[in-house]
Amino acid sequence: MEVINRLLRWVEQQHLLTPLHSSVGSRVSLYADDLVLFVAPNERDLHIVKASLAIFGLASGLFSNLDKSVATPLHCFDHDIARVRDILSCRIEEFPCRYLGIPLSVRRLRRSDEQPLIDKVAARIPKWNGSLLNVAGRSALVKATMSAISVHMSIVLCLSPWAIESIDKLRRAFIWCGSDMASGGKCKVAWEVVCRPRDLGGLGVSDLRRAGIALRAATIFTLGNGESTFFWTDQWLNGSSIKAIAPAVFAAVSCRKK
């Protein structure tokens, strides 16, 4: 995948592709075998991208299956979409699209887009033996599984109040009743108290809204484009370098690997 990344960057450096808007940080996004590529929908660019993928396939044996690929138009006209379909022979899908299991959209997500996440949480409720567990056991299951399902999406997206409330209903019902539904009389403690840490009198169940804010804040950092950054010696870790923070690690790594 690093080879195809270098190939597409080389094609771009040769000015064979139409330059993108400055708001697009990078033309290519790679993770494992998933590839997202921003390309202008003109005939020349589309043919160059298709040829680049074919060259990579001939060299590596890893051919791109364009029939399984998806093109998502951004401010495109109908003739642009038709051109993409004719040249690349891939499906055309509007937003929201899914990347690495996360729905990405240029607008606020609809409830139908968040419903699969809620269904995943509901599917983890062991209805047949939930009532056989005590409150401590059900609380442990909620913290270990039901509260962890939304972490992946919360890193990128801000879940709507409706989605958070729907997940909280399921977690609350399972803790107090061992099922997916509970009336107000069954809840022995207010949910705000349940979400407090144990040393503050709560059960330590995570607050999804606050946890989402913390997750997104922890993953935002700025490092330029990385091309001129020295990983070991530049001060990119909260104003410090790896050499200053961990001199023993720095000394243990050979110059060649640095």
Alpha-carbon dihedral 136, 155, 94, 71, rounded to 10 degrees: -120
In contact, 27 and 20? CB cutoff 8 Å: yes
pTM (predicted TM-score):
0.68
CA-derived radius of gyration, the chain: 24
Locate 208 and state its tokens: 């999804």
Res 96: pLDDT:
86
- Output 224 or 46, whichever has higher pLDDT: 46
**What is the per-residue DSSP string for 171-234?**
HHHHHHHSSS---GGG--S-HHHHTS-GGGTS-----HHHHHHHHHHHT---BTBSTT--TTTS
Listed by start position, the domains of the chain span 2-94, 107-218, 228-258
CA distance 12 to 39: 10
Q: How confident is the prediction for the chain on average, in pLDDT?
A: 86
Segment 42-68 mean pLDDT: 91
Res 226: pLDDT:
56
- Which band of pLDDT confidence, cut at 50, 70 and 90, is reported for residue 233? confident
Segment 59-78 mean pLDDT: 89
Whether the predicted pLDDT of 121 surpasses 90: yes
- Which band of pLDDT confidence, cut at 50, 70 and 90, is reported for residue 43? very high
Among 150, 99, 106, 100, CA closest to 124? 150
Alpha-carbon dihedral 62, 70, 24, 43, rounded to 10 degrees: 90
Whether the predicted pLDDT of 169 surpasses 70: yes
**What is the per-residue DSSP string for 126-187?**
-TTTGGGS-HHHHHHHIIIIITTTTHHHHTT----HHHHHHHHHHHHHHHHHSSS---GGG-
Whether the predicted pLDDT of 221 surpasses 60: no
Whether the predicted pLDDT of 258 surpasses 70: no
31 pairs with which residues across the strands?
A: 34
CA distance 137 to 63: 49
Characterize the bridge pairing of strands 70-71 and 34-37. Answer: unpaired
Per DSSP, the three-state class of 23 is coil
Q: How many CB atoms lie within 10 A of CB 50?
A: 15
Chain centroid to Cα 87, Å, comes to 29
Among 10-24, 28-42, 174-188, which stretch is predicted with the lowest mean pLDDT? 174-188
In contact, 70 and 91? CB cutoff 8 Å: yes
Share of the chain above pLDDT 90, in %: 36
Among 76-80, 86-90, 176-180, which stretch is predicted with the lowest mean pLDDT? 176-180
